[in-house]
Amino acid sequence: MGASNSQISTALAVMLVGYGVMSIALSVWLKMPISVVWSTPGAAFLAASAGLGLSFELAVGAFMVSSLLIVVTGLWPALGSLVRKIPPQISAAMLAGVIFPFVVATVHSAVDFPALILPVIVVWFLINRFLPLWATPIAIGLGFVLIGASPEASDASFGSFWPELALVIPQFELAAIIAIGIPLYLITMASQNLPGLAIMSSLGYQVPAGKVFAATGSASMVTSLFGGFGLNLAAITAALNADSSAAKDPNKRWIASSWGGVIYILFALFAAPFAAFVLAVPRELLLSLAGIALINTFANAIRGAVTDDSTRLAAVVTFIIGAASVTILGIGGAFWALLAGVIVWLLGRKL
């Protein structure tokens, strides 16, 4: 979204540090296995919004608004209640529409780069059959190894090992906030924060949502000053750190998520070379890896979108508009998809 190489590496490093610090702080404070991560659907949404032509400063301003809305959700329960009034089927359809281009990109790259993508797909399906929680990280790791050893990454230019950590002065514009900030907030809530709470509850942990949202939203506002786009509750990682595989005693599982935070901070040391590698690789290959990582998310979103007869038409309209990736008045398709879906749903209720 208009970011320079240095800004990308800075944003990546600061976000990783943020994930680590918040995972450690919340886990130690609440004595619960709280894992804070990025939003993969949110990142996919931002990548899909790159065509809007917004400056990085405007995007950062939208990131800050999205983070502020998370804080307000934690401090003002009425906003969270308003978000929950949007039928989950419509939110799921919007998410499915946003990530649809990435899933399709996997098919195109499998045709254009079969030696690099087909093995990743096969490995993902095999591991997903027996160890579903590990399928995505192992397959994506394999993908980066294959791409890194291929001629496609031969143009990677590794400059300074350390990112510059330069501040980004945010700019605020209504169109950018509507196109980026509000959809990013809704996607983060629908795909990460609310599922994360549900997973933790299913494992016996009643997470104080208000405290966690206020804390992660505030930290996210800080990281946005360096180009970061969000800190939120984990969903899949939460399941790894909060079940019996982390520790037999539920009261000690917070130690696992704390060590996970330490690992995030260590990863931040390699943000600059990783960013240089990503920028050198053809965009189609990165989109295809993202598509593989999002297969289960897409499947779950599609299933959730069409489960209820009363909202099915609204969900289908939402998905179609979201998948079309239209831009109207400088505002991206995610907003218009959500707006159209809610209107169709409301009309269906009144007729």
Structure confidence by residue, pLDDT tens digits, 122-164: 999 999 888 887 888 899 889 988 888 888 766 655 556 566 7
**Cα separation, 336 vs 75, whole angstroms:** 28
**Cα separation, 67 vs 79, whole angstroms:** 14
Asked whether residue 188 is domain-assigned, the answer is yes
Residue 169 has pLDDT above 60, yes or no: yes
Residue 87 has pLDDT above 70, yes or no: yes
Domain encompassing residue 290: 5-308
At 218, is the pLDDT very low, low, confident or very high (cuts 50, 70, 90)?
A: very high
Q: Which residues contact 66 (CB under 8 A, 6 or more apart)?
A: 180, 181, 182, 184, 185, 188, 220, 229, 230
Asked whether residue 175 is domain-assigned, the answer is yes
Asked whether residue 315 is domain-assigned, the answer is no
Asked whether residue 318 is domain-assigned, the answer is no
Centroid of chain to Cα 209: 19
Q: Which two tokens stand for residue 179?
A: 């196109």
How many Cβ atoms from other residues are within 10 Å of residue 290's Cβ? 21
At 325, is the pLDDT very low, low, confident or very high (cuts 50, 70, 90)?
A: confident
How many Cβ atoms from other residues are within 10 Å of residue 172's Cβ? 14
Asked whether residue 326 is domain-assigned, the answer is no
Strand locations in the chain (E):
36-37, 232-233
Asked whether residue 348 is domain-assigned, the answer is no
Asked whether residue 238 is domain-assigned, the answer is yes
Nearest Cα to 226, choosing from 60, 22, 68, 34?
60
Residue 289 has pLDDT above 80, yes or no: yes
The per-residue pLDDT for range 5-58, each reduced to its tens digit, is: 778 888 888 999 999 999 999 999 999 999 998 887 788 788 878 778 889 999
Nearest Cα to 320, choosing from 312, 330, 310?
312
Q: What is the mean pLDDT of residues 189-201?
A: 77
Residue 233 has phi, psi (to 5 degrees) of: -60, 145
Residue 129 has phi, psi (to 5 degrees) of: -70, -35
Nearest Cα to 14, choosing from 162, 235, 190, 207?
162
Domains identified in the chain, total number:
1
User: Whole-angstrom distance between the N-terminal and C-terminal Cα of the chain?
Assistant: 42
Is residue 46 within 8 Å of 184, Cβ to Cβ? yes
Of 188-192, 234-238, 247-251, 307-311, the range with the highest mean pLDDT is 307-311
Asked whether residue 289 is domain-assigned, the answer is yes
Which pTM was predicted?
Answer: 0.73
What is the 8-class DSSP label of residue 345? H
Nearest Cα to 313, choosing from 351, 283, 262?
351
**Cα separation, 80 vs 134, whole angstroms:** 32
